[in-house]
Amino acid sequence: MEEKELKEAADLIRRRKKFLVACHVRPDGDTLGSALALANALRQLGKDTVVVSADGVPEIYSFLPDGEDILKETSERAFDVAIVIDCDGIDRVGPALDAVKSARKVISIDHHTNSPPFGDIGLYNTEAAASGEIVLDLIDRLGVTLDERMAICLMTALVSDTGAFRFPNVTPRTFLFAAGLTAAGASASHIARLVYENRSLASARLMGIALAGLKVDKGGDLVWSVLSREDFEKTGAADADTEGVINHIMAVKGARVGLLFREAPDGPAIVSLRSRDSIDVSKVARAFGGGGHAAAAGCIISASLPEAERMALEEARKWMES
């Protein structure tokens, strides 16, 4: 990200009045926390701001300040500016796409690698651990005072996208950002507990099924598990309750690539991928129209669960061998 783009985005925001801030489908803490923090900043500047997340706010992130203001959809159109956060492709906003396209200008904020650029202004930084880092740069450029609510939202972005500062995407700059957020009133330890140690009973039972069904290949380098629609029905869990399960799969000693397959209520198979040792699982995800980071990616495969498992594992083995 160049200073030129950051300045252009800040100047555009100052000149306009009506804003849409859009999250990606199946939202995580980064897209939600970043969107809420930026919306707070825009409102401090007197901007008319709507935040949309097509899949709402998962229970695990219900603690986020002002999360209740997020809409699943909006009939409003003709926004002055749409700001799309953490989306590696404009289609990732899902049903909010029409509202985004109604805007006179689009700003894209993202930290994914190999993402197709879109919008009139792109704030991209692939070295950022989370899109929240870029949002914090923009808030600073806008001259808005960082308050405790915004700090909590942005700390959630960092904590969720770094595995509580354990993933290799963490840089010295990430810790500097975290220090500033801590000074503004956010607690990394409290947020990490809420995100990673605050599971519902249904979620814990679903986790148990996933871990009990672990499968391994390639001498333990490749580890995966499968959750069927029946598993969700038996436990009473929702798809959002799978948050963090993939990280436990990757906790298996020796695992270099981990996958979690789960059956969506409407049929397609959803695949979460993680890796270490410089294996780029985003290439596996992109083979099926998905995307993400080198060490954390995802995709949807329009096939039966067994067939999706076969297809994705075949692709993963190919990339591991190359």
What pLDDT, in 10s, does the model give residues 106-126? 999 999 866 678 999 999 999
- Six-digit token string for 294: 């080198």
- Six-digit token string for 25: 């489908």
Q: Give me the residues paired with residue 106 across strands.
A: 82
Model pLDDT, residue 115: 67
Distances in Å between the alpha carbon of 202 and those of 38, 143, 239, 275, 310? 33, 44, 11, 27, 28
Helix, strand, coil percentages, rounded to 5, for the chain: 45, 20, 35
Helix/strand/coil for 68:
helix
Model pLDDT, residue 114: 65
Q: Give me the residues paired with residue 272 across strands.
A: 260, 298
Tens of pLDDT, residue by residue over 220-264, are 999 999 999 999 999 999 888 898 899 999 999 999 999 999 998
End-to-end CA distance of the chain: 31
- Cα 285 from chain centre: 15
Model pLDDT, residue 185: 98
Residue 300: Cβ within 10 Å count: 17
Model pLDDT, residue 88: 83
Model pLDDT, residue 117: 83
The ranges of the chain with pLDDT < 70 are 1, 113-115
Residue 97's nearest CA partner among 28, 12, 25 is: 25
Q: Give me the residues paired with residue 81 across strands.
A: 19, 105
Q: Which domains does the chain have, with CATH numbers?
A: 3-196 (3.90.1640.10), 201-321 (3.10.310.30)
